[in-house]
Amino acid sequence: MSNLRAGFYFLVFYIFSETIFSPLAVNGVKPDLILILTVILSFLYGPPRGAFFGMIGGFLEDLFFGHFIGLNMLVKMISGFLAGVLEGKVYPENWWFPGIIVFILTFIKDLLYIVFLNLLGINIPMVEAVMKVVPIEAIYNLFLTPFIYYFFYRSVRRKRP
Amino acid sequence: MAKRYWGKTLLIGVLLTVLLLSLARYTTRELPFFEGLKSGLKDLTYPVVRGASYLMEGAGNITSYFKDINALRREREKLVQENTALKFELNKLKEVEQENFRLKAMLGYSQENPQFDLIVSKIIARDPANWYKSFTLNQGKSSGIAKDMPVLDQNGLIGRVINVASLNAEVLMITDPRSSVAAVTYFSRVPGIIKGTALSSELIMDNIPLNLEIRPGEMVLTSGQGGIFPKGIPIGYVVSVTKDPSGLVQVAKVRTYVDFDRLEEVFILKGRR
């Protein structure tokens, strides 16, 4: 997948998440479509490209709504790299597996993000966030991932003999 | 070979982390370049965002069409009752207002009676991140919206405009951890600073002096200090009061009157008429 195409997918996913998925928040918690897409692409293309895809997705988030340019880029880059490490180690036919990675990476990504925000002077109560927000987001992401993965896996398989 | 690969990866990772954190630190300040870039991007994607939000609205209307008719009937009866009680209350208040005018005139007391211009606007997009609380409106500079204008609904304060593009505007909600509003309690007139926590409908009222008593259930309003929000806009009510870990001030938990998760339309306070 070309970087331009990946950028286009990230933009579409970003618009979906701010318009379609925001009103569908569960207890005020929204899914992270950019993380889901980063993990799926990293799982299919490996760590270096995964980290780069994460940077593209994070940069878009930072530009549109973020106030700290670079923060989402950094967190999504780390998530992409970690997910990419599993490329080739697990059969991509396991449609449920990316969901599990997304579930775990949601915790890592949010913890990193809260730590970085606190470093930048934005205080978010860590315990309350971990108890009230992160588990709901992780479960929401877990259920959405297989549907999105199916679409991308099919398009990649069609291109690779 | 593998050792060298991981060593190189680690080095690049550390360098990128330092670089991106420095960039994030640098952009904590409001930079006109990024503000302009953000406004431009928002204007560029506006038609798609508006279309998607229109579709969502349509889907919502279809589900509400099939809403239980009995529930609607019950709701109507309740509203009629409430309306009658409110009309009665309003008449009483009008009399009090007239009396107030008369007494003020007798005392030679003149005070400006502010009348505000309100712009009604629709929410077309929300910040997808769970740690920020902001949304985008379907109107911008072309409708007379400017930065720092207060945003509210019939229940109380919502936030302020932080970024304006020509066709849309971004609003920072008071529940966002970057927001702070000067506030005062209604009965005991205890001052404090309202801060967001990023957790829906919960706010923190900080910097309350130790010697002042604040009771749960008390209403919290904007105090008018700071120059952005006018005085007297309801924010929420006190849920609990605790001592700050430093032991120097008190901190109150405040629940908002506005249901931030269900907002669809808001009012922007344009200015005094």
Which residues are bridge partners to B160 per DSSP?
A: B150, B172
Q: Rounded distance, CA B236 to CA B254, Å?
A: 6
Does B11 map to a domain? no
Asked if B129's CB is within 8 angstroms of A61's CB, the reply is: yes
User: What ipTM does the predicted assembly reach?
Assistant: 0.81
Q: Can you tell me the mean pLDDT for A84-96?
A: 80
Q: Rounded distance, CA B139 to CA B119, Å?
A: 9
Q: If you count them, how many residues does chain B have?
A: 273
pLDDT tens figures, B116-154: 688 889 898 888 888 888 899 988 888 889 988 999 988
Question: What total of structural domains would you count in chain B?
Answer: 1
CATH number of B192's domain: 2.40.10.340
CB of B125 within 8 Å of a chain A CB? The answer is yes
Could you tell me which residue, A79 or B107, shows the higher pLDDT?
A79
| H helix or E strand, kind and range, residue B11 | helix B2-26
Q: Which residues of B touch A71 (CB under 8 A)?
A: 20-21, 24
Q: Rounded distance, CA B140 to CA B145, Å?
A: 5
Q: Which of B22, B25, B131 sits opposite A113 (nearest CB)?
A: B131
Q: Which residues of B touch A33 (CB under 8 A)?
A: 128
Asked if A133's CB is within 8 angstroms of B132's CB, the reply is: no
Q: Can you tell me the mean pLDDT for B228-236?
A: 88
Does B239 map to a domain? yes
pLDDT tens figures, B41-99: 888 888 888 888 888 777 766 666 666 677 888 888 888 888 888 887 887 788 788 77
CA-wise closest residue to B262 among A29, A28, A33:
A28
Does B125 map to a domain? yes
CB A26 within 8 A of CB A132: no
CB B258 within 8 A of CB B156: yes
Q: Rounded distance, CA A108 to CA A117, Å?
A: 14
Domains and CATH numbers, chain A: 3-19+29-155 (1.10.1760)
Asked if A70's CB is within 8 angstroms of B24's CB, the reply is: yes
Residues 28-87 of A with CB under 8 A from B: 28-30, 32-34, 47, 61, 63-74, 77-78, 81
Q: Rounded distance, CA B47 to CA A15, Å?
A: 11
Q: How far is residue B194 CA from its own chain's centroid?
A: 11
Angle between helices A3-19 and A47-64 (to 10 degrees): 40
Does B236 map to a domain? yes
| H helix or E strand, kind and range, residue B234 | strand B234-243
